[in-house]
Amino acid sequence: NAGVMQNPRHLVRRRGQEARLRCSPMKGHSHVYWYRQLPEEGLKFMVYLQKENIIDESGMPKERFSAEFPKEGPSILRIQQVVRGDSAAYFCASSPPSTNEKLFFGSGTQLSVL
């Protein structure tokens, strides 16, 4: 039973490019959470999604960032026109339907913006 899979593990982008981060939740999980971890800081909540729905995006920057969790396929966190300040580790977590009693985390994607 595979855990939460995130890819790529490392992503390097130049300023102005787009970054796409993928997250495949655990089998049977329909809830996905995205968090950002800046160096020497904790995890900052970004967005909480269910299949085809954004439930809470209160932590998402107003511009350039978007997330989706389609009916089929992984959840995608998309960052347009990346800037150096976007460099961080992005973690995805999943949970079963209707509960957040335990989040299962992926190993993260380290985004580096040159």
Partner 1 sequence: AQSVTQPDIHITVSEGASLELRCNYSYGATPYLFWYVQSPGQGLQLLLKYFSGDTLVQGIKGFEAEFKRSQSSFNLRKPSVHWSDAAEYFCAVGARSASKIIFGSGTRLSIRP
Q: Please enumerate in sequence order all residues whose Cβ is within 8 A of that of 96, keeping only pairs 6 or more positions apart, or say none.
A: 28, 29, 30, 31
> Could you give the CA distance from residue 27 to residue 12 in angstroms, rounded to a whole number?
29
Q: Give the residue, chosen from 12, 56, 78, 80, that forms a contact with partner 1 under the rule CB under 8 A.
A: 56
Which of the ranges 19-27, 38-46, 65-73, 76-84 carries the binding residues for partner 1, by CB under 8 A? 38-46
Nearer of residues 79 and 92 to partner 1, judged by Cβ: 92
Site map 71..110 versus partner 1, x via CB under 8 A = --------------------x-x-x-xxxxxxx-xxxx--
Structure tokens at 89: 């580790």
Q: What share of the chain is helix, strand, coil (3-state, %, to 5)?
A: 5, 50, 50
Which residues contribute to the site for partner 1 (CB under 8 A)? 4, 31, 33, 35, 41-45, 48, 55-56, 58-59, 91, 93, 95, 97-103, 105-108
